[in-house]
């Protein structure tokens, strides 16, 4: 870029000299460029503009605060990054200001005053004679060089007596490397200037001038005070705009610190329809929005389609398809109280609208916060069973996620998988009177996860960054309705002592009929003990206090059975528990007047159903809410999320990129060549002139050798000079070297 020493301009104060030397230093400019590049890498690798809790979960409280103080969550808008860009602009501009005049002067200079002795020091040199007197030969040489694309200057030289001793013909060709140097450095300045123009400086300057502060509250956009709104003339900004189907919006939200600033647009965006196209596998392949843009001043309308990677430019604002969300869908939910699943109730809710949720038999106040509705959920499912393990959904639950909640094994992510649409789902939060909330994601349709029978998936997330764990409720096998009514009947029957006693009698009677009458009473006592442990103490709401479920059975085995016999005892007790649960189901169905089914025709399905039912009953006891809400119907309203940006510096950046490409190619492939031809009259009577050639090129190689050989053959040849249209200097042919 520039040498380390800088010549102080005349009249400059002495204090400015060190600063100018520093700014014009090559090491300093390269260091600034490397630091800016490193900061850009950080801004690319580290997700920008995420909620603070995301960084706390990823890095921990300490490092999250350190990174926030360093401005790493908004690198491109941080003050230190803007300062780095400014210093880089200043350093590169000083280099251009210092070097450009010298480059221009060197490009214009022919160096016709070169000493004759210096011609002998060039690697490419030649001496010969040419017919004609001195002025004619000099004119012929100049004419031949001009025809070959050279810029030529011919000057006579006098000897000590004042007579003309000869003619120096100086020529140069190329010069692109010097232009490439200036273009490359100018490109860096333009790109950085464009980045500064498009940074947050314009928005922050407008906030400072207008006295606008970030808004950290909630509510609708219309309720935000004027002190948090910018004017339409903000020079540059980038924000988000959410528009529901059938509605209009003209206010973008700009993130600033811990809040947002409202940016009115000079037009309104009306969303007619949000479009999602899918591949045959169910994966989405295209997101687009059909919009109508309304000019507020003229009232004109313009139809447009905003799609991913296909933005729309309107009145200097570019509109990008950023995402989509729910626009306030109407939900029909059915509440299932876990303490008494038979007392279901209906709930009507709207996504994004919080409402109180009164629960039968529960004194505590709960609030329902519907967050989203997803009509399609494409999830990966393992394609085929592996060994003796069944195919499984990758959503299978790791029991560590909720402290033992959910006994399904985690799926093998390395197994071959396929994708499938598993139907609609609803996400909501239940918030108690203390303000603590738990997030739930429940699927509307049963999902076949490859474990033998389809199940309903009811997801729970206790912490914002935690993975979902699922309560998997099996679909009825004794009915063809496709629901889970039998499971909820069993859940309620576990709290009914009479039904449990009748189920135990049925189980003991069946064992007696099977030829084990002498052990029927002992078997009944064991079954009663296991069922009491599993059902636990009576509860008025879930989750109840006291140990129950499979954890209570496991604790009983640890206390009563020697370690060597526990494995066998566990298998026996689980088999007994499944048998009692089956008899309890039959008893409940008979009580309700429903037909019972013989186990023989569906033995395998029934066994899988009972196994999954026992696990689901155990998981339901630990469900972290007194009610489970299932999705029974919905009226979807979609909303499109746009990113709107005013970027006046974008053309400047594009121009800088173009200059950078041109400059790099010019510096890589451009060759600056110079040629000197000294023409002097030869001694003798005949009109002959001596011709001495010297050729200089910054790149020595075969190409330079070929060009000089071509020049030597053309200029040292005898006869008249060729015309410009047929000049051998422009011919690619290589003549034989001169002996």
Both 98 and 118 in one domain: the answer is: no
Both 393 and 369 in one domain: the answer is: yes
The residue-averaged pLDDT of 632-657 equals 92
The residue-averaged pLDDT of 519-544 equals 72
Q: For residue 406, what pLDDT band results from cuts at 50, 70 and 90?
A: very low
Note whether 678 and 119 are within 8 A (CB): yes
Note whether 445 and 455 are within 8 A (CB): no
Residue 338 lies inside a defined structural domain of this protein = no
737/517: higher pLDDT: 517
Last residue of a domain, one of 448, 472, 496: 472
Both 430 and 454 in one domain: the answer is: yes
311/387: higher pLDDT: 311
pLDDT at residue 13, as a whole number = 53
Residue 259 lies inside a defined structural domain of this protein = yes
Nearest partner of 405 among 466, 358, 354, judged by Cα: 466
* The residue to which tokens 């370690």 are assigned: 563
pLDDT at residue 451, as a whole number = 67
Both 503 and 553 in one domain: the answer is: yes
Note whether 406 and 619 are within 8 A (CB): yes
Task: Please list the residues that pair with 304 across neighbouring strands.
Answer: 291
Q: For residue 454, what pLDDT band results from cuts at 50, 70 and 90?
A: confident
Nearest partner of 190 among 283, 85, 289, judged by Cα: 85
- Maximum mean pLDDT: which of 261-265, 378-382, 493-497: 261-265
Residue 564 lies inside a defined structural domain of this protein = yes
> Chain-wide mean pLDDT for the chain?
81
pLDDT at residue 2, as a whole number = 44
Q: Where are the beta strands (DSSP E) in 144-225?
A: 151-158, 164-173
Both 312 and 349 in one domain: the answer is: no
pLDDT at residue 4, as a whole number = 43
pLDDT 10s digits, 157-195:
887 777 888 889 999 887 778 888 888 889 999 999 998
Note whether 459 and 371 are within 8 A (CB): no
The residue-averaged pLDDT of 252-277 equals 89
pLDDT at residue 240, as a whole number = 92
Q: Which domain holds residue 56?
A: 16-107
Note whether 229 and 207 are within 8 A (CB): no
DSSP states along 282-343: S-EEEEEEEEEEEETTT--EEEEEEETTB-EEETTEEEEEEEEEE---EEEEEEEESS-TTS
pLDDT 10s digits, 98-140:
888 888 887 778 888 888 888 888 888 888 888 888 888 888 8
370/697: higher pLDDT: 370
b (16+ CB within 10 A) / e for 100-119: eeebeeebeebebebeeeeb
Residues 6+ apart with CB under 8 A from 108: none
Nearest partner of 442 among 625, 637, 242, judged by Cα: 625
Both 522 and 547 in one domain: the answer is: yes
Q: For residue 513, what pLDDT band results from cuts at 50, 70 and 90?
A: low
485 pLDDT higher than 90: no
Query: What whole-number percentage of the chain has pLDDT above 90?
Result: 21
pLDDT at residue 685, as a whole number = 60
Both 236 and 319 in one domain: the answer is: yes
pLDDT at residue 597, as a whole number = 59
Both 165 and 261 in one domain: the answer is: no
Residue 204 lies inside a defined structural domain of this protein = no
Residue 738 lies inside a defined structural domain of this protein = no
pLDDT at residue 269, as a whole number = 95
Both 53 and 153 in one domain: the answer is: no
209 pLDDT higher than 60: yes
DSSP states along 412-479: -TTS-EEEEE---EEEEEEE-TTS-EEEEEEESS-B--SSSS-EEEEEEESSTTSPPEEEEEEPPSSS
pLDDT at residue 465, as a whole number = 72
Number of domains within the chain: 5
Q: For residue 424, what pLDDT band results from cuts at 50, 70 and 90?
A: very high
Helix (H, G, I), strand (E, B) or coil at 19: helix
Nearest partner of 710 among 727, 729, 691, judged by Cα: 729
Domain holding 169: CATH number? 3.30.310
Both 541 and 560 in one domain: the answer is: yes
pLDDT at residue 398, as a whole number = 36
Residue 277 lies inside a defined structural domain of this protein = yes
The residue-averaged pLDDT of 309-336 equals 92
335 pLDDT higher than 90: yes
Both 572 and 682 in one domain: the answer is: no
Residues 6+ apart with CB under 8 A from 483: 475, 476
pLDDT at residue 16, as a whole number = 60
Note whether 672 and 177 are within 8 A (CB): yes
Task: Please list the residues that pair with 267 across neighbouring strands.
Answer: 295
Residue 660 lies inside a defined structural domain of this protein = no
734 pLDDT higher than 70: no
pLDDT 10s digits, 460-470:
998 877 888 99
Residue 611 lies inside a defined structural domain of this protein = yes
CA distance 270 to 286: 20
Cis peptide preceding 739, ω within 30 of 0 = no
Domain holding 272: CATH number? 2.60.98
Q: For residue 78, what pLDDT band results from cuts at 50, 70 and 90?
A: confident
Both 101 and 120 in one domain: the answer is: no
Last residue of a domain, one of 73, 107, 141: 107
The residue-averaged pLDDT of 57-75 equals 87
Consecutive H or E run containing 629: strand 627-635
Nearest partner of 88 among 23, 3, 180, judged by Cα: 23
Q: For residue 538, what pLDDT band results from cuts at 50, 70 and 90?
A: low
pLDDT 10s digits, 337-396:
988 888 899 999 999 899 999 888 777 889 999 999 998 887 766 544 444 444 333 333
């Amino acid at each position: 870029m520039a040498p380390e020493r800088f010549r102080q301009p005349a009249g400059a104060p002495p204090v400015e000299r060190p600063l100018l030397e520093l700014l014009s230093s090559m090491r300093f400019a390269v260091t600034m460029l490397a630091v800016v590049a490193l900061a850009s890498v950080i801004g690319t690798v580290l997700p920008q503009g995420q909620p603070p809790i995301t960084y706390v979960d990823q890095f921990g409280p300490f490092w999250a605060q350190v990174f926030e103080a360093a401005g790493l969550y908004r690198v491109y808008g941080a003050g230190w990054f803007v300062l780095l860009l400014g210093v880089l602009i200043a350093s590169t501009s000083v280099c251009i200001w210092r070097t450009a005049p010298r480059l221009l002067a060197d490009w214009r200079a022919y160096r016709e005053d070169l000493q004759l002795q210096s011609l002998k020091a060039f690697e490419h040199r030649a001496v010969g004679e040419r017919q004609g007197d001195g002025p004619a030969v000099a004119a012929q040489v100049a004419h031949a060089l001009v025809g070959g694309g050279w810029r030529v200057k011919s000057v006579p030289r006098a000897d000590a007596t004042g007579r003309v001793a000869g003619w120096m013909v100086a020529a140069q060709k190329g010069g692109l490397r010097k232009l490439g140097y200036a273009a490359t450095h100018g490109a860096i300045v333009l790109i950085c200037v464009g980045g500064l123009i498009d940074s947050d400086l314009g928005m922050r300057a407008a906030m400072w001038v207008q006295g606008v502060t970030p808004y950290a509250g909630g509510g609708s956009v219309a309720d935000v005070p004027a002190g948090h709104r910018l004017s339409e003339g903000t020079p540059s900004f980038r924000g988000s705009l959410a528009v529901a189907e059938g509605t209009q919006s003209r206010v973008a939200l700009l993130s600033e610190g811990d809040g947002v600033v409202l940016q009115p647009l000079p037009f309104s965006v009306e969303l007619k329809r949000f479009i999602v196209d899918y591949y045959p596998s169910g994966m989405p392949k295209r997101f687009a929005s059909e919009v109508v843009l309304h000019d507020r001043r003229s009232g004109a309308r313009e139809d447009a389609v905003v799609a991913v990677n296909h933005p729309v430019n309107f009145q200097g604002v570019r509109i990008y398809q950023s995402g989509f969300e729910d626009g306030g869908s109407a939900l029909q939910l059915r509440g299932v109280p876990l303490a008494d699943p038979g007392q279901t109730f209906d709930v009507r809710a709207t996504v994004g609208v919080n409402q109180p949720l009164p629960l039968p038999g529960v004194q505590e106040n709960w609030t329902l916060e519907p967050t989203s509705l997803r009509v399609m959920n494409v999830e990966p499912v393992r394609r085929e069973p592996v060994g003796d393990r069944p195919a499984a959904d990758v959503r299978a639950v790791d029991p560590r996620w909720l402290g033992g909640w959910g006994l399904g094994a985690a799926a093998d992510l390395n197994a071959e998988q396929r994708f499938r649409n598993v139907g609609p789902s609803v996400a909501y939060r239940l918030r108690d009177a203390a303000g603590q909330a738990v997030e739930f994601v429940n699927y509307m349709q049963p999902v076949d996860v490859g474990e033998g029978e389809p199940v309903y998936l009811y997801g729970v997330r206790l912490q914002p960054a935690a993975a979902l764990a699922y309560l998997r409720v099996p679909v009825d096998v004794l009915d063809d309705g496709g629901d889970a009514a039998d499971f909820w009947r069993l859940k309620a029957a576990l709290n009914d002592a009479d039904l449990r006693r009748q189920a135990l009698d049925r189980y003991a009677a069946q064992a007696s009929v099977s030829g084990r009458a002498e052990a029927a009473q002992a078997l009944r006592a064991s079954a009663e003990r296991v069922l009491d442990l599993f059902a636990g103490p009576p509860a008025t709401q879930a989750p109840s206090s006291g140990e129950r479920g499979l954890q209570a059975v496991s604790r009983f085995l640890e206390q009563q059975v020697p370690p060597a016999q526990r494995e066998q005892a566990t298998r026996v007790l689980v088999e007994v528990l499944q048998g009692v649960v089956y008899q309890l189901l039959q008893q409940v169905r008979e009580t309700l007047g429903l037909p019972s089914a013989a186990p023989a025709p569906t033995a395998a399905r029934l066994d899988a159903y009972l196994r999954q039912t026992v696990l689901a009953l155990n998981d339901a006891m630990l469900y972290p809410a007194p009610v489970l809400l299932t999705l029974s119907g919905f009226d979807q309203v979609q909303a499109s999320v746009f990113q709107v940006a005013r970027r006046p510096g974008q053309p400047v950046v594009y121009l800088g990129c173009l200059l950078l490409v041109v400059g790099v190619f010019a510096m890589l492939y451009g060759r600056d060549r110079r040629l000197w031809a000294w023409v002097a009259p030869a001694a003798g009577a005949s009109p002959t002139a001596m011709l001495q050639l010297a050729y200089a090129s910054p790149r020595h190689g075969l190409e330079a050798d070929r060009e000089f050989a071509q020049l030597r053959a053309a200029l040292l040849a005898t006869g008249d000079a060729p015309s410009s249209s047929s000049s051998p200097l422009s011919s690619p042919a290589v003549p034989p070297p001169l002996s």
